[in-house]
Chains A and B, each alone.
Chain A
Amino acid sequence: MRLTVSHRTHYTYDAPVPYGLQQIRLRPKSRPGQIVEDWAIDVVGGQVEVTFEDEHANTVDLVSFAPNQTEIQITCRGTVDVENMAGVVGHQSGYVPMWLFQRSTALTKTGPLVQSLIDDVTRSDNALETLHGLSDQILNRVPYSTAQSSSELSAEDVLREGRGVCQDHAHVFITVARALGFPARYVSGYLMMDDRAEQDASHAWAEANLPGLGWVGFDISNGISPDGRYVRVATGLDYRGAAPISGMRYGNAVEDMTVSLQVQQQ
């Protein structure tokens, strides 16, 4: 399936920002099942300082704000051919040791609610079955809703709130999968929703490493494994490691962000 993506993130500030930096993880890579035909990032109100590969082999752009800006806009445009691999991504390559994917992070810490979910998981000899079961259970406990209290909730917080978005689902999944002994990671990317071109936001899901299969994706929010409509962009131990845009800035300006995203089949 050939998908075209146009993704614009526009930040505005209520006062000039004397200095700021953003790390952008918005460059999908060609890999089995995903060929990036063309891809470009355009920054208005700042400049790309360096581009590098992080430890998860994500291509990262470091962007600096032009001095005293009140807005900055990052636009990605490109075309990606995606094949339906039924969520199977393949074996781990690169240098990251498997144990790293079992480390808990601030957003994937176990608390009493996570623990009770771990206790409730129906474990089968078939790892795929166990994890699909887990995925269903999470969506059951945490119905999809954009009305959460914060944009960075830990797995425990998500279960306490009892509702969440794809990011929250992924965090709960990762946390429990790790507790069950599966290396797991967070994936940020794009999903073409069948019924519309205009998407609300970029998407997130999880991957777990299963014996024999390697990495397998689970889109908890949609109850499926990623197919030909998913563009895989960046991975990390949690949202913070794979976030499309994260950064810091000096001064006290209040930030406002709008996102416009179209994913379409060509």
Chain B
Amino acid sequence: MCTFGPMAKLPDFFDEMYGRGTEPRAPYEAYAKWFGGENNARLLEKSAEAEALFRLIGVTFNVYGDPDASERLIPFDLVPRIIAAQEWAKVARGIEQRVRALNAFLHDIYHRQEIVRAGRLPAEMLALNDAFLPEMIGMSPPGGIYTHIVGTDLVRTDDNEFYVLEDNARTPSGVSYMLENRETMLHMFPELFSKIRVQPVSQYPRSLRRSLSGCVPDACSGRPTLAVLTPGIHNSAYYEHAFLADQMSAELVEGHDLRVVDGRVAMRTTQGYHPIDVLYRRVDDDFLDPLTFNPDSMLGVPGIMDVYRAGGITIANAPGTGIADDKAIYSYMPDIVEFYTGEKAILNNVPTHRCSEPDALKYVLDNLAELVVKEVHGSGGYGMLVGPAASKKEISDFRKKLESNPDNYIAQPTLALSTVPILTEAGLAPRHVDLRPFVLVSPQGIEVTPGGLTRVALSEGSLVVNSSQGGGTKDTWVLEE
């Protein structure tokens, strides 16, 4: 593999820089030309510089279950992922359609459940689902919005093939990486941005503020007070919580800063309690209110659900939205999109086998070595099996887990995830990527930030991009028209 020429690649996969050939694809032309004039050693130095910068800023995360590895950096690769404007336009339209359907779906399942009555979704999908919150039944959130912030995970398999992997409708994280990655690239390679026109992402915090302010509760008078609820400095995404609060001029609060005062949820300030209108919470449903949910939770606010139902506060995202990113519900997404929008889904869904169904289970057990098997309610890449990459023993161990609790799993074919080159000592080398675009929903409309967070599996051949499993990130460029 040489530094400047086209690189050797894995033949079966679509590479976003070189397609299936050896010449750069159109969106990468200008970048490839620039890269050709660069020196690999200098770029590696830049890479170290970027890492030092991230560490200084404190863009770090904690790994669950590993007390010694506190504050790790997510590796940053400085080769951008580049998407053409017209490619992006279709993706954005598809995401918008999907997110609109999700909100309609959430409203429906917490009200008349027309989709169940119409026979398009079995009632068990809701009845047996812990993410369905009875406490939300009959509740219409302020502004009618359930998922104010969505992260739609996409993968690409070919020139025009995008698949949705999952709809993160609870509290999607990673947007601070998207923003910091761009800042870092602007800082390190200003000349690139004068040569190549990239759609900006820096408006995100302002848009978030505007979008949340568009959903104030009835009780709000005057300029809305926003706050970000964090589980605290030991949470893996604390940096992001602080970052977003800072960027949108909201207070960063923890459960113990809040209490119900005069019918509102109020924060303890140096001058007494001050009511909050919109709470962007980064605390899971179960911990949100010890009075209504988990009574042992120290992270939430006792009584907040009562104030919410009484119209005293907006909680973003609404409690109970997790059901929309459940992997079993996911398998119904094409129907859900069609049911609520009257249109065919623009983006592909990955064909999904629900192991709760005997035929599907049999198929999955027979084809474990070719499939990706995931926990229905899992996230973060934990507890999953990537058949083609697993050893015989891993497969047979997983088989036992699957057989003992099939309802807990779904299986999907292994997708030929596209690759984007990363910078290595030996020059460019292809690695698999996914993409998490960030979507803001308000009564004024749906806003998809151009690009999003590209996650990259850093080890050769790996398909697991999660940061908790050794994945890294890249800046994502959507080119101007």
B116/A97 in contact, CB under 8 A: yes
Q: On chain A, which size bracket covers the interface? A: 20 to 34
Query: CA–CA, A103 to B130, complex, Å?
Result: 11
- Quick one: closest A residue to B309, CB to CB? A52
B310-A55 in contact (CB<8A):
no
- The complex places the Cα of A52 from the Cα of B135 at a distance, in Å, of 12
Give 6 A-B contacts (CB < 8 Å), ordered by A residue: A49-B262, A50-B310, A55-B135, A97-B116, A100-B134, A248-B290
* A172, B128: Cα distance in complex, Å: 22
Q: By CB atoms of chain A within 10 A, which of B116, B135, B260 has the most? A: B260
Q: B127-150 CB contact bits vs A (8 Å, 1 = yes)?
A: 100000011111100000000000
Instruction: Contacts A100-B134, A247-B291 given; indicate if A52 touches B127 (C-beta within 8 A).
Output: no
Q: Least Cβ distance of A230 to chain B in Å? A: 25
A68 contacts chain B at the CB level, 8 A cutoff: no
Do residues A50 and B123 form an inter-chain contact, with CB atoms below 8 A?
Answer: no
Asked whether, in the complex, the Cβ of B116 is within 8 Å of the Cβ of A54, the reply is no
Give Cα A224–Cα B260 distance, bound, in whole angstroms: 42
- Contact status of A95 and B263, CB under 8 A, knowing A49-B306, A52-B310, A54-B309: no
- Beyond contacts A49-B262, A52-B311: 16 other A-B pairs, Cβ-Cβ < 8 A, are A21-B303, A49-B261, A49-B263, A51-B310, A55-B135, A55-B137, A55-B139, A62-B310, A64-B261, A95-B113, A97-B116, A97-B127, A99-B123, A99-B126, A99-B127, A247-B291
Task: Please tell me which one of the listed residues A51, A62, A95 contacts residue B260 in the complex, with CB atoms under 8 A apart.
Answer: A62
Separation in Å of the A114 CB from the closest CB of chain B? 20
- Residues in A with CB closer than 8 Å to B310 are 50-52, 62
B306 touches A96 (CB 8 A): no
> Which residues on the A side are within 8 Å of B259 (C-beta)?
19
A102 to B136, CA, bound (A): 18
Q: What class of interface size applies to chain B in its complex with A? A: 20 to 34
Shortest Cβ gap from A10 to chain B (Å): 22
A86 to B406: give the CA distance in the assembly, Å: 46
Say whether A212 faces chain B, with CB atoms less than 8 Å apart.
no
Q: Does chain A have a CB within 8 A of B307?
A: yes
A60 at the interface (CB under 8 A from B): yes
Check B126 against A97 for contact (C-beta < 8 Å): yes
Hey, which bits of chain B sit against chain A, CB under 8 A? 110-113, 116, 123, 126-127, 134-139, 259-263, 290-291, 295, 302-303, 306-307, 309-312
A94 within 8 A of B: yes
Q: Is the CB of A248 within 8 A of B138?
A: no
Residue A23, interface by CB 8 Å: yes
Contact of A23 among B111, B116, B291 (CB under 8 A): B291
Beyond A49-B306, A50-B310, whether A97 also contacts B260 by CB under 8 A is: no
Instruction: Name the CB-closest residue of A to B133.
Output: A55
CB distance from A83 to the nearest CB of B (A): 27
Those 5 A-B pairs whose CB atoms lie nearest each other, nearest first: A50-B310, A55-B137, A52-B310, A52-B309, A62-B306
At the interface, yes or no: A256 with Cβ under 8 Å from chain B?
no
B304 to chain A, nearest CB (A): 10
B307 touches A49 (CB 8 A): yes
**A96→B138 CA distance, assembly (Å):** 8
Least CB distance from B385 to A in Å reads 31
Q: Is A125 an interface residue (CB 8 A)?
A: no
Cβ of A200 within 8 Å of any chain B Cβ, yes or no, is: no
- Chain B positions within 8 Å of A96 at CB level: 134, 137-138
Which residues on the A side are within 8 Å of B123 (C-beta)?
97, 99
Query: Which B residues touch A120, using CB under 8 A?
Result: none
Cα–Cα, bound, A8→B452 (Å): 58
**Centre residue among B259, B261, B262, B310 by max chain A CB count within 10 A:** B310
Contact mask A1-29 → B, CB, 8 Å, 1/0? 00000000000000000010101000000
